[in-house]
Structure 1
Amino acid sequence: METIIYTEDSLAVPARLIRQGELIAFPTETVYGLGADATNEAAVNKVYQAKGRPSDNPLIVHIKEITDLDPFVDNLSEKAQSLMAKFWPGPLTLIFEIKKNSLPSVATGGLSTAAFRMPNNKMALALIEQAGVPIVGPSANTSGKPSPTTAQHVYHDLAGKIAGILDDGPTDIGLESTVVDMTTEIPVILRPGAVTVEALASVVGEVNLDQHLISENEAPKAPGMKYQHYSPNARVLLIDWQKNNWQDALDWSAKKGISCGILASREIIQSFKADVVGNYELSITQDVQTASQRLFAGLRELDGQKQPIAVIFAQTYPEEGAGLAYMNRLKKAANQEYFQRDD
């Protein structure tokens, strides 16, 4: 299959392909999604096949208007309506109980619930409108690898496996949406994102945070909950922001003869003279929001060096505010592993 890059001027073609049951990657403000007609079981199955994604991992349904929920969800709570009014369109996904058989079970991971989002991206909303159907949109990458934040990242992973990619340049946020379970009295954050705990609480009061790690044998209720996820081929080791033991890590890799790369702020990178294969600036200063936007691109670039990198040393931040989402993704990319000198 030839994978064609489309622009906004040719939007009618990918919209038609979605209606015909094909797969089209599309931009959002978070990451690029792999789009298919959410109501078409065969099309949704193609998503799992293209990504190599476990079929128990539910997908997020992307909509253009709140009324697009009507065929699937009854009786939206006041809290849900308040969150949608505040954050939609935007990087917030809400999980609801759905009407029986309103979506194919393959789209929901066999659950009685489904996740919905209204993306804050002009081209994404236009694609949904012109296709005339809700669109599932998991990250448009090989399952388990860093999520794509450019059309080129998508092409690298999925060329020949999907019909096309709608190109809108780099994404603005760079991390997937916040996922909130609205099926309980107190909303539960299942995946942190750009809409923070504090922002949610300011609208609906108390919210709970569930960051327990899903084992390979446990069915997740939302995407991105697996123990290891977003991982490059290289081993990722976290440098504790409190210990700040960068020099120990670089000395250790040199002594062991291990090729390494640095994923950190310019301030950190320029503070060391080390023999590294490559480095990638997450930000100029210690800016976690910029670091979040550049995290997946950095993992991908360091993983793609001509001279292979065995270990990526990565900067960490306190797990609060915007740092919560950043660390959620980075810790999974590193399989929760911090650098510890073993000699």
Structure 2
Amino acid sequence: MIKSGKDTIFASKLIKEGKLVAFPTETVYGLGANGFDAKAVARIFEAKKRPSFDPLILHISSIEELPTVFKKPISPMIMQLAEKYWPGPLTIVGPKTAKVPDIVTSGLKTVAVRMPRNKVALKMIKQAGVPVAAPSANLFGRLSPTTPEHVKEQLSTIDYLLEGGKTDIGLESTIVTVNGKTIEILRPGGISMDQLQQDFPGVNVVMSATEKHIQAPGQLRSHYSPRKPLYLHDSVPDKLPEYAALLLFEPHPIPEGAKSKIVLLSSTGDLTEAAANMFAVLHDLEDDPEVEQIYAVRVKEEGIGMAIMDRMKKAAYRYSHFVDDQGMVRDESGNLL
């Protein structure tokens, strides 16, 4: 049984002692350890069963801490991004200092850093006095946790769960790196590509190709997966079997006589609301004894929809296909199988 509570002082004390603490952020719950303690960080990989080639994010409590994790001189663009979006759901990748252990970055010379927009998390990090290395507080490849209960269901070997209720955004942070006057999105998330371009009109904002080598967390093709098969559809299937649940991000006409369990994530089609509910609903569906498979209808890959589809395609990747409007089975690139 995981010890849990709302004591940030106790949580920060454990962090300083090299222990593991799960804590809330505005995105999802994180599993934290002292980011300057290689042995403590190694326990994160062990607890999550996470491969060592997948780097972690360092969480800080103020912009003033950046020189301890980012090598000087720090890019002016990095500082502008931090000042614009922190605290908030943006992670920035930049050259690391010697203080950051290689295990945090999986041997890369760059490190991913963010300042969460969650008062509980910020208080704990500040009290700990060190950057906190933290991926999501779940078993590797499984659904991200958005409530304390989700953490308890998956992790049993951590030292403390700092409770903070349900997360606000429910979707991991956007991860970016800076190359001159180009902002490259390594992982879409809570801050959309459109928002970045709007806030920085003189900068070129581009999406990273997933085929590149891993530069940041969440770039693996298969990730965020429920225990039950998940299939993506271009539209609502004509036949909805009783054993399947249909997941909708926005309202759609439902075939007459459909017997599937139907879950609508936003009655108004608000994709921000849908994103906030997505992981919690997937947790419920994978625990529902009457549901054997999950069908989900795609949304347009624009705005927050880009982040939603990034997670859904990775959740469905192990099942290798989605079904298009003609009932043809295709892989994630649209190729017929």
Under a length normalisation based on structure 2, what TM-score does the superposition of the two structures give? 0.90
1:190 paired with 2:186, answer yes
1:226 to 203, 217, 220: 220
The equivalent of 2:29 in structure 1 is 32
Spell out the pairing of 1:248-327 with structure 2 (5 A cutoff).
Answer: 248=239, 250=240, 253=241, 259-265=243-249, 267-268=251-252, 272-276=256-260, 278-307=261-290, 309-327=291-309
Q: What is the deviation of 1:192?
A: 0.8
> What is the match of residue 334 of structure 2?
none
| Deviation of 1:184 (Å) | 5.0
CA apart distance, 1:233: 1.3
What is the CA distance between 1:180 and its match in structure 2?
A: 0.4
Question: Equivalents in 2 of 1:165, 1:16: separation in Å?
Answer: 13
Identify the match of residue 212 of structure 1 among 209, 234, 251. 209
Q: Is the Cα–Cα contact under 8 Å of residues 269 and 279 in structure 1 kept in the other structure?
A: no
Q: Secondary structure at the match of 2:210?
A: coil
Per the alignment, residue 23 of structure 1 pairs with: 20
Q: 2:94 aligns with which of 96, 109, 125?
A: 96
User: C-alpha displacement at 1:292, in angstroms?
Assistant: 0.6
The question of whether the paired residues in 1 share the 8 Å contact of 2:226 and 2:282 is answered with yes
Whether 1:172 aligns to 2:168 is yes
In the alignment, residue 214 of structure 2 is paired with which amino acid?
A: P
Q: Map Cα deviations across residues 93-135 of structure 1 (whole Å, 9 max, x no partner).
A: 0000112x32111001110000000000000000001111110
SS state of the match for residue 176, structure 1? coil
Seen in structure 2, the aligned counterparts of structure 1 residues 280 and 161 have a Cα distance that, compared at 3 Å, is: farther
2:231 corresponds in structure 1 to: 237
1: CA distance, partners of 2:33 / 2:256: 46
Structure 1: which amino acid aligns with 2:161?
Answer: I
2:253 and 2:125 map into 1 onto residues whose CA distance is: 42
Structure 1 window deviating more from structure 2 (262-271 vs 178-187): it is 262-271
Q: How many Å apart are 1:328 and its aligned residue?
A: 0.8
The residue aligned with 2:332 is: none
Matches within 5 A, 1:60-79: 60-73=57-70, 74-79=72-77
Aligned-pair distance for 1:83?
A: 1.1
Deviation at 1:85, TM superposition (A): 1.2
Paired AA for residue 40 in structure 1: D
Equivalences for 1:79-94 in 2 at 5 Å? 79-94=77-92
Does the Cα contact within 8 Å between 2:94 and 2:178 map onto a contact in 1? yes
CA–CA separation in structure 1 for the residues paired with 2:66 and 2:328: 53
SS of the residue 1:263 aligns to? strand
Residue 171 of structure 2 aligns with an amino acid whose one-letter code is: L
Q: For residue 92 of structure 1, what is the amino acid of its counterpart?
A: L
Runs in 1 of length 4+ with deviation above 6 angstroms? none
Corresponding residue number in structure 1 for 2:333: none
**Does residue 54 of structure 1 match 2:79?**
no
Equivalent residue number for residue 3 of structure 1: 2
TM alignment of 1:70-149, pairs within 5 A: 70-73=67-70, 74-99=72-97, 101-149=98-146
Letter in 1 for 2:216: A
Seen in structure 2, the aligned counterparts of structure 1 residues 272 and 237 have a Cα distance that, compared at 3 Å, is farther
1:112–1:265 Cα change, 3 Å? closer
Pairwise CA RMSD: 2.0
1:67 positional shift: 1.4
Matched pairs, number: 323
Give the aligned residue type for 1:261: A
Deviation at 1:206, TM superposition (A): 2.7
Q: 2:195 aligns with which of 193, 196, 199?
A: 199
Deviations 1:208-245 (A, max 9, x none): 4334335xxx75111111111111111111121xxx24
When residues 79 and 203 of structure 1 are mapped into structure 2, their CA distance, relative to the original with a 3 A threshold, is: farther
1:272 CA drift (Å): 5.0
Alpha-carbon shift at residue 200 of structure 1 (Å): 1.4
Structure 1 distance, partners of 2:190, 2:250, is: 23
In structure 2, the residue matched to 1:246 is: 237
Give deviations 1:35-84, integer Å, cap 9, x for gaps.
Answer: 10000111100000111111111100000011111122211222111111
Q: Is the 8 A contact 1:83 1:200 kept in 2?
A: no
- Is 1:181 the counterpart of 2:177 in the alignment? yes
CA contact (8 A) 2:236 2:254 kept: no
- Shift of the 304–272 alpha-carbon distance from structure 1 to 2, 3 Å rule, reads farther
Q: Which residue of 2 aligns with 1:338?
A: 322
1:32 and 1:150 in contact (8 A); partners too: yes
